[in-house]
């Protein structure tokens, strides 16, 4: 497994370039960059990120875009809107390639109307997903679709319905633990549901609040059964990325964040720690 941390852990307290420096000082070797705005896709900014990462000897494992800016429109039936969205998607993939990222974490369209029963046209989804996956693959990047409770990939059976309609090895998946719970499923179900195509795991925890619902917290501070997650990953021979992705208000300072990161790393791979 490859252990790392996302710049999302510092949003919005510090900018991404400074988050890289913060993680470098903590000794984090692998990171995910969560782009926060359109200007961060631009070549000059990406060069600055790369410069800082290289100065610390940091590997950029994956990139993640601010999805609602353009990802839903990638599946639009309106050709002009879809092309405009693809032009932005292209910028993100090119940014990932410059940074040496191996995967792009993808949300896809949102289930905006929150219908009681979401009915998806998987043939149509596959038709529009294939060129996205191909473009990413040509840049050396895996398109890794993440489960999100308010998006199309909310239930763990999404991969098994979509994968048979795509060329082999064209699409991968990211598991987000908090999103799984927010969707009402055991996170381990998504590991099995990914059918061996899991490439990335976002680590966090949650608590239940009677008024506020599911509240994200640091790993091992909530209700998620991490032993079950570990067992499911081992049964599926998972050796991909394990990225700590929490909110900046979930911890008091960087020492607490680093302690939690080391706890996660020790728990999932004590022999490598």
Rounded to whole angstroms, the Cα distance separating 18 from 45 reads 12
Q: What is the pLDDT along the chain (273 residues), one digit of tens a residue?
A: 999 999 999 999 999 999 999 999 999 999 999 999 999 999 999 999 999 999 999 999 999 998 889 999 999 999 999 999 999 999 999 999 999 999 999 999 998 766 567 789 999 999 999 999 999 999 999 999 999 999 999 999 999 999 999 999 999 999 999 999 999 999 999 999 998 999 999 999 999 998 888 999 999 999 999 999 999 999 999 999 999 999 999 999 999 999 999 999 999 985 644
Going along the chain from its start, the domains and CATH numbers come out as 2-268 (3.20.20.150)
User: Would you state the pLDDT for residue 210?
Assistant: 87
- Buried/exposed 153-191: b ≥16 CB within 10 Å, e otherwise: bbbbebbeebbeebeeebbbbbbbbbbbbbbebbbbbbb
Nearest to 136 by CA among 82, 85, 199, 94: 94
- Residue 150, number of CB atoms within 10 A of its CB: 13
Q: What is the pTM of this model?
A: 0.95
- Reading the block at residue 88, the tokens are 């932005």
Distance of alpha carbon 187 from alpha carbon 206, whole angstroms: 12
pLDDT, residue 270, reads 59
Instruction: Identify the pLDDT of residue 115.
Output: 57
């Amino acid at each position: 497994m490859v252990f790392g941390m996302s710049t999302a852990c510092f949003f919005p307290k510090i900018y991404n370039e400074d988050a890289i420096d913060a993680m470098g000082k903590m000794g984090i070797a692998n990171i995910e960059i969560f782009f926060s705005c359109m200007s961060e896709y631009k070549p000059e900014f990406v060069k600055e990120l790369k410069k800082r990462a290289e100065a610390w000897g940091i590997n950029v494992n994956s990139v993640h875009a601010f999805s609602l800016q353009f990802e839903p429109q990638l599946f639009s039936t309106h050709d002009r809107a879809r092309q405009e969205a693809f032009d932005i998607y292209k910028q993100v993939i090119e940014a990932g390639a410059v940074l040496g990222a191996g995967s792009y974490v993808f949300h896809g369209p949102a289930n905006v109307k929150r219908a009681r029963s979401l009915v998806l046209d998987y043939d149509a989804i596959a038709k529009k997903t294939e060129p996205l996956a191909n473009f990413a693959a040509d840049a050396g990047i895996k398109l890794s679709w993440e489960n999100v409770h308010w998006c199309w990939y909310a239930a763990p059976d999404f991969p098994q319905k979509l994968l048979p309609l795509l060329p082999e090895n064209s699409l991968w998946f990211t598991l987000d633990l908090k999103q799984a719970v927010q969707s009402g499923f055991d996170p381990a179900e998504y590991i099995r549901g990914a059918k061996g195509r899991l490439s990335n795991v976002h680590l966090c925890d949650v608590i239940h609040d009677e008024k506020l619902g599911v509240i994200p917290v640091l790993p091992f501070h909530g209700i998620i059964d991490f032993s079950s997650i570990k067992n499911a990953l081992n049964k599926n021979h998972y050796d991909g990325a394990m990225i700590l992705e929490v909110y900046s208000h979930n911890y008091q300072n960087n020492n607490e964040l680093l302690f939690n990161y080391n706890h996660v790393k020790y728990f999932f791979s004590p022999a490598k720690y």
